[in-house]
Amino acid sequence: MKSKNNPGNYFEDFVLGQELRHATPRTITSGDVALYTALYGPRFAVQASAEFARNIGFHDAPIDDLLVFHMVFGKTVPDVSLNAVANLGYAGGVFGVPVYAGDTVSTVSRVIGLKENSNGKTGVVYVNSVGRNQHGEMVVDYNRWVMVNKHNPDAPAPETFVPDLPSVVDPASFKIPVGLDLSGYDCTLAGSAHFWDDYAIGEKIDHVDGMTLEEAEHQMATRLYQNTAKVHFDQVSANQGRFGKRLIYGGHVMSLARALAFNGLGNAFRILAINAGSHANPAFAGNTVFAWSEVIDKFDIPGRNDVGAMRVRLVAVRDRAAADFPLRDDAGKYDSAVLLDFDHTVLIPKRP
């Protein structure tokens, strides 16, 4: 009898155009929000206060964008990356309608690209994943590509198709929450006096604070997202591996860096887009994470003068302060302290 556990998909199991309806639709609750707050310490008033959120046109405090992202991402793991060697990149990520406590998010992915590696042992799978709420409205839509093992090295290579993914999300794709009205925005309660107008392209910001990672924390986070990747949980396997340690889910570092970024970007309360992202080095328990940001670009939002968008590179580093903005060496290789290079676009109020 065939074993009933899930072996995951290997590279040869993916077919271009294939649709993957992922298991475990997830009702997101205020309990998930409390855990997210406890795990990362975000301080954006919009997500923390139902009153504040209603004052600017939300129905309730919206769920943190990256919590939504992780919930959706986690659901793709058993079908997409259970046999992955590496998570290679993200592109074209857009956040849709706000998610509120009580909403249920379901995820569907489509295989949009395949490329076997020349070693014949692995290949790159490109997927577009879309999370939708119980009304069918898109909450997040993004592309990622992963290197996945072949189970049978003799399986024939599929026709190579590498999708044309944008290097930056077009401002025309941004979804501004319906009803958003920043006339009631209170920047004292929000905790920052700095508006869109105050940031310069090229400006770098040290987010100052450091947070030390613990095994119990990243495991709880990753299970909260129902992300089943073995490398985060199993020390017995880790003992046989390259690092001898459990690897921390890259999204855990992403959320921690985003929470640290409040200290300098306190009004950037909404992520509009994920342009690109690299997990430059693996993170482990015991690492202390610092972060810095660079403003890469600024955009007007058509038809609005109360908010603007900023493209921001958010960099997480470990075990050293970020005041000198470490990124790459002269050869273009990531500094060994860099954990994450996250290129995203945020919504931020304009000065009234």
Cβ closest to a second copy, residue 82 vs residue 165: 82
Residue 240 near a second copy by CB under 8 A: no
Residue 152 near a second copy by CB under 8 A: no
Residue choice 17, 31, 241, 244 for contact with a second copy (CB under 8 A): 31
- SS3 state of residue 285: coil
As a whole number of angstroms, the distance between CA 253 and CA 36 comes to: 13
Quote the least distance from Cβ 115 to a second copy, whole Å: 27
Torsion over CA of 227, 231, 236 and 240, rounded to 10 degrees? Answer: 160
As a whole number of angstroms, the distance between CA 92 and CA 105 comes to: 20
Residue choice 119, 188, 303, 330 for contact with a second copy (CB under 8 A): 188
Residue 220 near a second copy by CB under 8 A: yes
As a whole number of angstroms, the distance between CA 267 and CA 219 comes to: 30
Residue 49 near a second copy by CB under 8 A: yes
Residue 39 near a second copy by CB under 8 A: yes
All residues at 6 or more sequence positions from 243 whose CB lies less than 8 Å from its CB, including other chains: 282, 284
Residue 320 near a second copy by CB under 8 A: yes
Residue 201 near a second copy by CB under 8 A: no
- Cβ-count burial 130-139 (b if 16+ within 10 Å, e if not): bbbbeeeeeb
Residue choice 17, 24, 184, 336 for contact with a second copy (CB under 8 A): 24
Residue choice 1, 172, 178, 331 for contact with a second copy (CB under 8 A): 1
Quote the least distance from Cβ 134 to a second copy, whole Å: 5
Residue 21 near a second copy by CB under 8 A: yes
Residues that bind a second copy (rule: CB under 8 A) add up to a total of 85
- For residue 40, what are the CA distances in angstroms to 195, 205, 218, 221, 260? 24, 19, 10, 10, 8
Residue 18 near a second copy by CB under 8 A: no
Quote the least distance from Cβ 268 to a second copy, whole Å: 11
Residue 244 near a second copy by CB under 8 A: no
Residue 228 near a second copy by CB under 8 A: yes
Residue 324 near a second copy by CB under 8 A: no
- SS3 state of residue 295: strand
Residue choice 10, 11, 12, 48 for contact with a second copy (CB under 8 A): 48
Of the candidates 18, 16, 8, 12, the residue with the CA atom closest to the CA atom of residue 156: 12
Quote the least distance from Cβ 298 to a second copy, whole Å: 14
As a whole number of angstroms, the distance between CA 45 and CA 57 comes to: 13
Residue 329 near a second copy by CB under 8 A: no
Residue 349 has what DSSP assignment?
A: E
Radius of gyration of the chain (CA): 20
All residues at 6 or more sequence positions from 328 whose CB lies less than 8 Å from its CB, including other chains: 334, 335, 338
Residue choice 198, 300, 324, 329 for contact with a second copy (CB under 8 A): 198
Taking contact as CB under 8 A, which single stretch among the options 10-18, 154-162, 172-180, 259-267 is the one that binds a second copy? Answer: 259-267
Q: What's the token pair of residue 311?
A: 């493209």
Residue 305 has what DSSP assignment?
A: S
Residue choice 181, 206, 294, 306 for contact with a second copy (CB under 8 A): 206
Quote the least distance from Cβ 339 to a second copy, whole Å: 14
Residues 85, 334, 201: CA angle, nearest 5 degrees: 120
Cβ closest to a second copy, residue 168 vs residue 208: 208
Report 93-112 residues binding a second copy (CB under 8 A).
101-102, 104, 106
